[in-house]
Amino acid sequence: MDIQGAFETVLRNRLVLRLREQGWPDHLARWAGSFMSGRSARVRYQDTLTPSSPLQCGLPQGSPVSPILFLLYTEPIYRLGNPKAALAIVGDTVDETAAMASSSIDEMVRWGATNGVSFDSKKTEVMHFSRSKLRTAPAVRHGDIEKHPESALRWLGIWLDSRLSFRIHVEKWAAKAQAVAYHMRGLTTTKHGPLPAAVRNAVRACVEPVLLYGAEAWYPGTTRPRRNQHIKDLSSSNQQLIQRMTKAMNQSMRAILPVWKTTPIAALHQESGIPPVAQLLEARRLRFSARLKSLDEAQPLASRTRLPANLLTTTSSNEDIKHRQSAASGHVFDAQMSSLRRARDQSSSNNASTKNKCHRCRQH
């Protein structure tokens, strides 16, 4: 759902009241009221400039404070219905979730009418998420309009499908990256074009960020831990997505180097200095993991990615088993080395005694 006007709908006195209800300091609430006071606007078109008109409501566009104040102003929306599931409706069947979603939309529309906020029904989108293939996909009502589920839903640049396979997401962003790679390849040939170092920098800046956009949301790594056996790993099922991304990266490497179409891929990676897509994804996953470790414990992402206590106990016990096994193998190795040293020393003493006997025999 989308709020019509957004910043323009914020009322000054109501914002001050909401900040005080949320427990913010009084001087901060008064500062927000002063921030929205005494504002005016005028329109310039070519050489014509209209006189200034006072603004009775609304937050200024372009100010870094406006998004924060707008989120605080609309904070009651996230407490409607079930606050823990504000972004999604969970149920046993799609009919149940569709009815719950329609009820939640009606509640939000009523809240908006009370607070002077209207929602744009044209921008309302619906998606049913399920592990199995849905036979029916019921619509959700926004007022008098029925909104039917979409095949793919874009949210913050990430394309979501009903089974969260991220196939559409990878396909769309790989196509964008490949279009840029084709354009770069058209500028370079085996006879003329910019230097390979310059094209490599362009690939790093223009192709890689597009190709890897949103990888933190769908790439779990090369292996996945099993739930019942935490030591063993399960092979990942994202190889097809990686292969699609690899095609776009191969075009980028051929734009960097003046090579023929039959040049092996391994040679392209070595000469261009571009790692394979799997390594780029793994590096981004590790950077994202390090970023999560640096966040505050109360941050939602940090709390959701923290290992549960039962897994920590199992993991520690597994580490103890590995440690004991390595220690036992170390003791066996030490015993074997000791026996080998004794055998070597005994062999050396036998050889020395044999040489002494031979020396005495020659003397006689």
Which one is predicted more confidently, 69 or 193? 69
What is the extent of the structural domain holding 126? Answer: 2-151
Query: Which tokens in the block code for residue 19?
Result: 């900040």
State the pLDDT at residue 8.
80
User: In the structure encoding, which two tokens stand for residue 59, read together?
Assistant: 């937050």
Find the range with the poorest average confidence among 57-71, 153-167, 346-360. 346-360
Residue 67 domain-assigned?
yes
Q: Is 306 helix (H, G, I), strand (E, B) or coil?
A: coil
The answer to whether residue 121 sits within a structural domain is yes
Q: Which of 98, 125, 151 is the last residue of a domain?
A: 151
CA distance 215 to 282: 10
- The arithmetic mean of pLDDT across residues 310-334, rounded, is 50
Residue 133 reports pLDDT greater than 70:
yes
Answer yes or no: do 284 and 244 share one domain: yes
91 and 61 within one domain: yes
Domain boundary among 94, 119, 151: 151
**Same domain membership, residue 175 and residue 85:** no
Residues 289 and 219 in one domain: yes
Domain-embedded: residue 111: yes
Cβ-Cβ contacts under 8 Å for 351 (sequence gap 6 or more): none
Point out the domain boundary residue: 125, 151, 177: 151
Q: Are residues 71 and 178 in the same domain?
A: no
Residue appearing with tokens 């085996």: 190
Query: How many Cα atoms occupy the beta-carbon half-sphere of 224 within 13 Å?
Result: 11
pLDDT of residue 82: 62
**Do the domain assignments include residue 182?**
yes
Q: 120 and 145 in contact (C-beta within 8 Å)?
A: no
* The one-letter amino acid at 95: D
| Mean pLDDT score of the chain | 79
Phi, psi (rounded to 5 degrees) for 214? 75, 15
Domain count, the chain: 2
Most confidently modeled of 51-55, 80-84, 243-247, 257-261? 243-247
Mean pLDDT score, 142-166: 86
Long-range contacts made by residues 234-242, C-beta under 8 angstroms, separation at least 24? 240/167, 241/166, 241/167, 241/170, 242/277, 242/278, 242/281
Are residues 81 and 173 located together in one domain of the fold?
Answer: no
* Any domain includes 68: yes
For residues 254 and 260, give the distance between their C-alpha atoms in angstroms, rounded to a whole number: 8
Residue 337 CB contacts under 8 Å (≥ 6 apart), including other chains: none
Locate tokens 């036979």: which residue? 135
> Is residue 347 domain-resident?
no
Q: Are residues 263 and 225 in the same domain?
A: yes
Residue 358 inside a domain? The answer is no
Tens-digit pLDDT profile for residues 270-305: 888 899 999 999 999 989 988 888 888 888 888 777
**Residue at 320 is within a domain:** no
pLDDT in tens, 168-226: 999 999 999 999 999 988 888 777 788 889 999 999 999 999 999 999 989 888 776 66
Same domain for 254 and 132:
no
196 and 120 in a common domain:
no
Mark whether 118 and 167 lie in a shared domain: no
- CA dist., res. 138 & res. 135, Å (int): 10
Tell me how far apart the alpha carbons of residues 56 and 35 are, in angstroms, rounded to a whole number. 12
Q: Are 229 and 133 in a shared domain?
A: no
Looking at the structure, tell me whether residues 144 and 164 fall in a common domain. no
